[in-house]
């Protein structure tokens, strides 16, 4: 009997670069992040084509029981005093969780439940983040290099951005030279 060896995709742990066939890449630019940053004047001052983060996804199966694998590369920087971050979302299928792995750089994972209770986890190379169902999630780059994090989630989960239209209950800012979390009522 002949045995087949498939060549699996691979990831470079230092850079988070995938080597695989059919990597799907999506760039999110400053102009796509309307309503995300608190300081609107500072956001408007940034050229709208400035890349803020890229997501690379492996080409995988879709449907009940299948998993997606994606790498987010979040560029360092701030908009006003607020650190660069992803838009953030709940899953459309609320009960579906996700796992993030810190690969490169340093930052925070902002988590928030349906009752608007928010909390943070440090993201660094090797960190493992188990995101339960019913929990919104956003990456924040508080460091000076690209923050790369690997994510694995059920392909049926979907993304719900609309439920966070009023923003998260916590913002992460640089104040008095320190990284600080600031609770907010309305985004």
36, 37, 70, 141: residue in contact with ligand PA5 (rule CB under 6 A): 70
78, 87, 94, 116: residue in contact with ligand PA5 (rule CB under 6 A): 87
At closest approach, how far in Å is the CB of 53 from ligand PA5?
Answer: 6
The terminus-to-terminus CA distance of the chain in angstroms comes to: 61
Q: Is position 72 an interface residue for ligand PA5 (rule: CB under 6 A)?
A: yes
Q: Are 72 and 151 in contact (CB under 8 A)?
A: yes
Q: Is position 153 an interface residue for ligand PA5 (rule: CB under 6 A)?
A: yes
Q: Is position 89 an interface residue for ligand PA5 (rule: CB under 6 A)?
A: yes
Question: What gap in Å lies between CA 151 and CA 53, rounded to an integer?
Answer: 14
Q: What are phi and psi of 13, to 5 degrees?
A: -65, -20
Q: Are 52 and 128 in contact (CB under 8 A)?
A: no
Nearest to 124 by CA among 13, 11, 10, 9: 13
| Contacts with ligand PA5, 98-137, as mask; x by CB under 6 A | x--------------------------------------x
Binding stretches for Ni ion (CB under 5 A): 98
């Amino acid at each position: 009997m002949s045995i087949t060896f498939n060549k699996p995709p691979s990831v470079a742990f230092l850079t988070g670069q995938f080597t695989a066939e059919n990597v799907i890449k999506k760039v999110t630019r400053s102009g796509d992040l309307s309503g995300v940053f608190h300081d609107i004047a500072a956001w408007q001052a940034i050229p709208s084509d400035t890349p803020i983060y890229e997501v690379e996804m492996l080409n995988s199966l879709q449907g009940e029981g299948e998993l997606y694998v994606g790498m987010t590369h979040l560029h360092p920087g701030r908009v006003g005093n607020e650190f660069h971050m992803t838009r953030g979302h709940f899953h459309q299928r609320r009960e579906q969780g996700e796992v993030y792995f810190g690969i490169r750089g340093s930052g925070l994972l902002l988590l928030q439940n349906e009752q608007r209770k928010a909390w943070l986890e440090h993201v660094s190379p090797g960190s493992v983040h188990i995101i339960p169902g019913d929990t919104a999630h956003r990456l924040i780059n508080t460091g000076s290099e690209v923050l790369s994090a690997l994510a694995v989630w059920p392909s049926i989960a979907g993304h719900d951005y609309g439920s966070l239209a009023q923003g998260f209950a916590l913002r992460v800012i640089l104040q008095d030279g320190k990284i600080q979390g600031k609770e907010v009522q309305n985004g």
